[in-house]
Chains A and B, each alone.
Chain A
Amino acid sequence: MLTVLLDGLAAGMLLFVLSVGLSVTLGLMNFVNLAHGAFGMAGGYLCVVLLNRLGLPFLACLLAAALCTGLLGLALERLLYRRLYGRDHLEQVLFSIGLVFIAGAAVDWLMGARQQLITLPPWLSGRVELGGVGLGVYRLFLIAVCTGLLLALHLGLVRTRFGSRLRAAVDDAVVARGLGIPVERLFAVTFALGSGLAGLGGALGVEVLGLDPTFPLKYMVYFLIVVAVGGANTVIGPFLAAILLGLVDVAGKYYLPQFGAFGIYTAMVALLILRPQGLLARAAAR
């Protein structure tokens, strides 16, 4: 029971790190970016290559994965995404699905279609006994790292000038622009940050979520649920949504394996129907 709880918590934390960038993209620029998972996949593969082929320390790999995918996100945003702001949603959907297909094919060609495995450093593997229950050290590590990230993001959004500008732009981009907030630049930076976080999440998640070329498609639904349920203007909303999703998903797979992913899709559709504005959204917002 406790193991399931811990696993679900860890999976939820990962989902949060992976999808928090998407919620900003969607909220700020109203851009339907189905390719967000591709950044997570890129981070995961980078981590695998650096760790297994070059033998760098695990933490350095995580950092490199986050940085590189952040830069990749920045480059793609400046080169391609920028052209599609304000176009209609169908074109954005087609564009980002196209990116997912390209990324999948490219990774398949470079790395092969099989599942990627990593060997964790000794200090992160194994279990600890806590009150008579064995807890995976890596799960605890994940929870610690993601909690740290959550706090940093929340404080960054609430306390800093960048954060207040970002919130203003999400609330009403037109007025924010009128007040002299450089919405375009803000968005590029946020996009890079979101991609970098996705890359970090992908790298952290190799051990838990698995990694193969279908990763972006497989988890696309999960990211969308987190974003739709969590809302765009806070960090806490997506966080709660992600934790909920992780718990439901892991518990479902553990206790009712015969239903597979059916439960999670049902939960998503039900939530979308019951709370179309998101879990924490103020009903009067817009």
Chain B
Amino acid sequence: MRPALEAGFWLLALSGFWLMPEQLPLLGQAAIAALFVLSLDLLVGYAGVLTLGHAAFFGLGAYGAGLLAQQGWGEPLSGLLAAALLAGLLGLLTAPLVLRGGDLPALMVTLGLSLMLGEAANKLPGLTGGADGLLGVEIWPVLGLFRFDLHGRTAFLYALAVLFLLFLLARRITASPFGLALRGIRGNARRMPALGTPVRRRLVAAYALSAAYAGIAGALLAQTTQFVSLDALSFQRSAEGLLMLVLGGLGALYGAMLGAIVFTLAHHLLSEMSPLFWQFWIGLALVGLALAGRGGLLGLGAALLGRRA
């Protein structure tokens, strides 16, 4: 994408800090959602692996970082790292189970694993707080300098900074030979071995990478809200992630983030009216997007720009 547009995107995101000072917690949520969808995009959009259980990694990261802080180590950056390692490890362990070939087994195994994790968290109230959520999470100031405040200023800037850095990393990765190999696998997994690509190993790596990204997103949520609930592991979160991804545009990093931002803001506006209608609207959006086909908002924007040029 053109550099001016890119710079504009990030400046606009940063300007939210001054333009919407009352809504900073919401903007922080949007940044976290964007990171989660970025991780889904790496897996679904680039590698072409379907998942219905990405919330497992998000929730694991959230509970990992939350528990670490609850037990007395509230340093945020090392918390993120720990969550990434934890989720990445789970991804590495479960990848062979998920990548057995075929979309349906992948869908079901990911769904089953995330439900297992959710039920485990629900049934272990001693560790996770169960349905009450994990309380008593205390996070130290970022870099020892910036204290988390009630207005969500630090939280927003922290989440945005992490998103920006991880986005840069993701852009490097998707432009690297590894990222190109993933696109090739998505296009035609049978031909890629002929080009010398070890398909399986690439997919396992992509799965673990995506899991680590989702873990960091979960950890960010735990740290900025200082609370973790079972919601972090729910099926709803996995499904909403997919919706945001398809809304923004599959297989494009900016599409993923755009979808997350639009979704989070729409959620805020519509669910103020009625949470019931909100569920209805998500359903309608999903059906509409599926019937209308690929492209999402980003595809729409590109089509408009292309027509003008």
In the complex, are the beta carbons of A272 and B280 less than 8 A apart?
no
Decide if A272 touches B283 in the complex (CB within 8 Å).
Answer: no
A103 to B279, CA, bound (A): 10
Are A269 and B279 in contact, CB atoms less than 8 angstroms apart?
Answer: no
Residues of A within 8 A of B (CB): 26, 32, 80, 83-84, 87-95, 97-106, 108-109, 217, 221, 224-225, 228, 258-262, 265-266, 268-269, 272-273, 276
How far apart are the CA atoms of A152 and B104 in the complex, in Å? Answer: 29
Q: Is the CB of A90 within 8 A of B50?
A: yes
B111 touches A105 (CB 8 A): no
Contact between A94 and B243 (Cβ–Cβ < 8 Å)? yes
User: Is B235 interfacial (CB 8 A cutoff)?
Assistant: yes
Q: Which of A109, A224, A259 contacts B123 (CB 8 A)?
A: A259
Tell me if B212 is interfacial: C-beta within 8 Å of chain A: no
User: Across the interface, which residues of A come within 8 angstroms of B97, CB to CB?
Assistant: 269, 273
B286 touches A101 (CB 8 A): yes
Which residues of the partner chain B approach A260 to less than 8 Å between Cβ atoms? 119, 122-123
B90 at the interface (CB under 8 A from A): no
Q: Which residues of A contact B102 (CB under 8 A)?
A: 276
Q: Which of B116, B284, B289, B293 has the largest count of A CB atoms less than 10 A from its CB?
A: B116
Question: Contact between B277 and A105 (Cβ–Cβ < 8 Å)?
Answer: yes
Are A265 and B282 within 8 A (Cβ)?
Answer: no
B225–chain A nearest beta-carbon distance, Å: 25
Q: Are A228 and B115 in contact (CB under 8 A)?
A: no
Return chain B residues, CB-CB under 8 Å to A269.
97, 109, 112-113, 116
Residue of B nearest to A266 (CB): B116
In the bound complex, residues from chain B placing their C-beta under 8 Å from that of A268 are 108, 112
Residues of B within 8 A of A97 (CB): 239, 242, 283, 286
- Residue of A99, A261, A272 near B119 (CB, 8 A) is A261
CB-based contact B290/A258 at 8 Å: no
Which residues on A sit within 8 Å (CB–CB) of B280?
Answer: 101-102, 105-106, 109
> Which residues on B sit within 8 Å (CB–CB) of A88?
103
Q: Which 6 A-B pairs have the closest CB atoms?
A: A98-B286, A101-B283, A95-B290, A102-B283, A105-B280, A98-B287
Pick from A100, A109, A262: contact of B283, CB under 8 Å: A100
Q: Is the CB of A94 within 8 A of B113?
A: no
Contact A94 B116 (CB under 8 A): no
Q: Closest approach, in angstroms, between the C-beta of B44 and any C-beta of chain A? A: 7
Chain A residues whose CB sits within 8 angstroms of the CB of B104 once the complex forms: 26, 32, 89, 228
Known contacts A90-B44, A93-B50, A262-B123: does B284 contact A98 (CB below 8 Å)?
yes
B185 to chain A, nearest CB (A): 15
Write the residues of chain B forming the contact surface with A, with a CB cutoff of 8 angstroms. 44, 50, 52, 97, 100, 102-105, 107-109, 111-113, 115-116, 119-120, 122-123, 235, 239, 242-243, 246, 250, 276-277, 279-280, 282-291, 293
Measured in the bound complex, the distance between the Cα atoms of B279 and A100 in whole Å is 10
A201 to chain B, nearest CB (A): 21
* Cβ-defined contact, A89 with B103, below 8 A: yes
Bound form: Cα–Cα A32–B110 in Å: 15
Interface centre among A32, A259, A265 (most CB of B within 10 A): A265
Please measure, in the bound complex, the distance between the C-alpha atom of A273 and the C-alpha atom of B104, giving whole angstroms.
13
CB of A90, distance to nearest CB on chain B (Å): 6
Residue from A91, A101, A103, A259 within 8 A of B282 (CB atoms): A101
Given contact pairs A87-B290, A102-B283, A265-B112, a sample of 6 additional A-B residue pairs in the complex whose CB atoms are under 8 Å apart? A90-B250, A98-B288, A101-B286, A262-B123, A269-B112, A269-B113
What residues of chain A lie closer than 8 Å to B283, measured between beta carbons? Answer: 97-105
Question: Taking each of B97, B280, B288, which has the highest tally of chain A beta carbons within 10 Å of its own beta carbon?
Answer: B280
CB contact between A93 and one of B107, B235, B250, B279 (< 8 Å): that residue = B107
Nearest CB of chain A from residue B119's CB, rounded to whole Å: 5
Asked if B112 and A272 sit within 8 Å, CB to CB, the answer is yes
User: Chain A contacts of B287 at CB under 8 A?
Assistant: 80, 94-95, 98-99, 102
Whether B246 contacts A94 by the Cβ 8 Å rule is: yes
What is the bound-complex CA distance between A273 and B94, given in angstroms?
11
Closest Cβ–Cβ distance, residue B178 to chain A (whole Å): 22
| Chain B, residue nearest A218 (CB) | B235
Query: Are A262 and B116 in contact, CB atoms less than 8 angstroms apart?
Result: yes
- B100 touching A276, Cβ below 8 Å: yes
Please name the residue on chain B nearest to A109 by beta carbon: B276
Residues of B within 8 A of A102 (CB): 280, 283-284, 287
A238 to chain B, nearest CB (A): 15
Q: Determine the distance from Cα of A32 to Cα of B280 in the docked complex, in whole angstroms.
A: 21
